[in-house]
Amino acid sequence: MQQGTIDHVQEGLGTAAEGGIPDFAEIVRAHQGMIFSLAYHFLRDRGLAEEMAQEVFLELHRHLGSIESSAHLVFWLRKVASRKCIDQNRRRSFWPKFRLDEIPEPEAKTRETDTLLSGALGKLVASLPEKPRMVVVLRYQEDLDPAEISELLDMPVATVKSHLRRSLDILRDKLARTVGEIAL
């Protein structure tokens, strides 16, 4: 961006106290956790999630002048993050494949009390196809309702609901088989 454009954008947006959108650094601080979480739960790779978050905020910096409000900002960030994650996953499909049991699990603190169950659920969610997986992550990680997901992913609400229903059926079935194998 040219300096004149940056000044114009900053003048037009103001600060949160003036009813506008906060400056770029404040936006990053306020929303980096949400974007990283969305990317991490979809991609299941910390490094890629950090990279995706950086790309999303770089894209935001380029388009900051088009952001109309704080609500539009959150919508825009989620939409761009969702699309970049799906694109990254498609590019990753060409990478060499490793079995998950060959790759050591990173050390991370989790909030769940049953780490075995949460790890198994994470792997099961990761096994879903791209769009249904993003729908599940947006619904249960980001707590968005089907209408919001529909708008973010540019798909009909009925399709979002169908993805959720089918994905939950698949996850229940896979979890039942996994628990059955462990019990044997």
Taking only the tens place, the pLDDT of each residue in 97-132 is: 555 555 665 664 545 455 566 677 788 888 899 999
- Count of C-beta atoms within a 10 Å radius of residue 45: 18
The Cα–Cα gap between 161 and 171 comes to 15
Assign 71 a pLDDT band (cuts: 50, 70, 90): very high
User: Does residue 17 or residue 171 have the better pLDDT?
Assistant: 171
Q: Considering only CA atoms, which of 36, 32, 40, 41 is closest in space to residue 139?
A: 41
Q: What is the pLDDT of residue 177?
A: 82
| Mean pLDDT, range 50-64, rounded to an integer | 94
**pTM of model > 0.85:** no
Question: Mean pLDDT, the chain, as a whole number?
Answer: 80
| pLDDT value at residue 10 | 38
Q: How confident is the model at residue 91 (pLDDT cuts 50, 70, 90)?
A: confident
- Listed by start position, the domains of the chain span 9-97, 112-184
pLDDT digits (tens, 9 = 90+) for 135-176: 999 998 889 999 999 999 999 999 999 999 999 999 888 888
pLDDT at 34 over 80: yes
CATH 3.40.50.720 for the 112-184 domain, yes or no = no
Q: What is the pLDDT of residue 94?
A: 63
How far is the C-alpha of 159 from the C-alpha of 131, rounded, in Å? 10
Which pLDDT does position 15 carry in this prediction?
43
Answer whether 81's CB lies under 8 Å from 35's CB.
Answer: yes
- Return the structure tokens found at 6: 């940056």
Report the CATH fold assignment for 9-97: Rna Polymerase Sigma Factor; Chain: A (1.10.1740)
Cα distances (Å, whole numbers) of residue 72 to 76, 88, 101, 142, 144: 6, 24, 41, 16, 15
Position 23 confidence tier, pLDDT thresholds 50, 70, 90: confident
pLDDT at res. 32: 95
Query: What pLDDT, on the 0 to 100 scale, is given for residue 102?
Result: 59
Fold: same for 9-97 and 112-184: no
% helix, strand, coil for the chain, step of 5: 75, 0, 25
Residue 51 has pLDDT above 60, yes or no: yes
